[in-house]
Amino acid sequence: MKPLNYLLTFILLLGVAVPSFAQREQEKYLAGAVPEIDGKVIFTENVHIPNTKKEQIFNQAEKWMEKRFNTQMSRVVYKDMDEGTLVALGNDTIVFKSAFLSLDQTAVTYQFIAQVKDGECNLKVDKISYTYGQNERFTAEEMISDKQALNKSQTKLVRGLSKWRVKTIDYFDELFEDVTNALYEIAPRENIGLAPHPAVSQREMKPTTVEINKPSTNIGSAEKVIPAATFAGTTATINSTDINLPKNVYEQIGNSNLVITITKDGEYYNIPIDAIEFGYAFGKPIASVFVPFGSELYDALENSNTFSISLYSKDNASKDKANLKVVCKKILSQSITPESIVDQSLRKELGAKALQKFYIGEIIDVWSK
């Protein structure tokens, strides 16, 4: 009977845990998630880009809006550089549920306004309305406001309106994230607290001829590492029967110049970096790196599916051979912006230094001397 008792206990615990998780998932859609001004639903976002001129921000916002709102029903309708104002009318589709022979969706229209000044772009979405089915028309105030879409205690979503509120919040969160990422692309590198690297600043990427970067089974004095069972680093552990990193890899990092190499049009480009982390995620050995928006490395990684990390000894006068090379396939990238930092004190402390993008690459090959 003991196995049966264990099973019943597990089922009871699962029954308790699932609602708790679902409740936590709903919290972001509860009171205050849909802001109102004078009884009207208005979503806003303030994007700060220090030391960036109004004209630069305006041009970048205009470029993004012309690309985003580019149909007869969804278009930019007003722009004035002197005022710093851009206005677009959005017309899109929000899908509630899509399944075989079943599609539940609504058309959504809205006004998008970007108000630009030096170092800042204030975004606003208002006049949101929906067309559901053939001729059912609703306003955001009728469908997603706290008064309509939440119960009296504002602790739960109203069943019939929950999909409208959840999907609308998600839609405009993604919209603001998209335009924010576009605006951060013009942020100068020094705005995020990183001075341009001497080997990178004031120049365009130029191909190099470092021998270690050429694909080969025998690269100079480098030899392919024989796969082993484990690698134990200072802050990470990699267990893989296919990939092996030296046990002293973090010691090597501390004594090495780090370079990321990408391939473009058959040429190899070396770009110095400040730090790299190795670990294990998604069932794979990985390397991860934070990259400043708008930097040379950011542009390179955005346009490349693979990259390699090379470690060159600081004490070695010859820079033509790396002590270690790790080849990676990009599997994840995530933007890090000030608005995405939930710790308010940390957000204030970092300020514009938070303008980064986080890349994870699966380690697919390792070469070492």
Q: What is the pLDDT of residue 109?
A: 94
List of long-range contacts for 221-226, beta carbons under 8 Å, 24+ apart: 221/321, 221/369, 222/321, 222/322, 222/325, 222/367, 222/368, 222/369, 223/367, 223/368, 223/369, 224/365, 224/366, 224/367, 225/366, 225/367, 225/368
What per-residue confidence (pLDDT) applies to 176? 93
Q: Tell me the average pLDDT across 74-82.
A: 93
Q: Furthest-apart CA pair in the chain: how many Å?
A: 79
**If we measure between CA atoms, which residue out of 96, 90, 97 comes closest to residue 164?**
96
Mean pLDDT of the chain: 76
pLDDT at 360 over 70: yes
What is the number of structural domains in the chain? 2
- In 3D space, the residue among 291, 264, 263 whose CA is nearest the CA of residue 277 turns out to be 291
Q: Is the pLDDT of residue 10 over 50?
A: no
- The answer to whether 49 and 120 are in contact (CB under 8 A) is yes
Q: How far is CA 86 from CA 48, 58, 89, in A?
A: 17, 8, 11
**Of 47-51, 193-197, 309-313, which gets the smallest average pLDDT?**
193-197
Asked whether residue 126 is assigned to any structural domain, the reply reads yes
Residues 79 and 127 placed together within one structural domain of the fold: yes
User: Which pLDDT value is given to residue 277?
Assistant: 87
Q: Are residues 320 and 181 in the same domain?
A: no
Q: Report the CATH number that the domain containing residue 105 is assigned in CATH.
A: 3.30.530.80
Q: Over pLDDT 90: what percentage of the chain?
A: 36
**pLDDT tens-digit map of 86-130:** 999 999 999 999 888 788 999 999 999 999 999 899 999 999 999
- pTM of the predicted structure, to 2 decimals: 0.52
User: How confident is the model over 167-188, as a mean pLDDT?
Assistant: 89
339 pLDDT higher than 60: yes
Q: Which residues contact 230 (CB under 8 A, 6 or more apart)?
A: 237, 238, 239, 244
Q: Report the range of poorest mean pLDDT among 79-83, 122-126, 241-245, 299-303.
A: 241-245
Q: Which residues pair with 262 in a beta bridge?
A: 269
Q: What is the pLDDT of residues 237-276, one digit of tens each?
A: 344 445 677 777 777 787 788 889 888 777 777 888 888 8
Q: Is the pLDDT of residue 171 over 80?
A: yes
Q: Is residue 6 part of a domain?
A: no
Which residue among 165, 186, 207 closes a domain? 186
In terms of pLDDT, which residue wins out, 212 or 47? 47
- Tell me which of 277 and 141 has the higher pLDDT: 141
pLDDT reported for residue 157: 93
Residues 73 and 49 occupy one common structural domain? yes
In a domain, 14, yes or no: no
**Residue 340 is part of a domain; what is its CATH number?**
2.30.110.10
Domain that holds residue 75: 22-186
- Same domain? 308 vs 362: yes
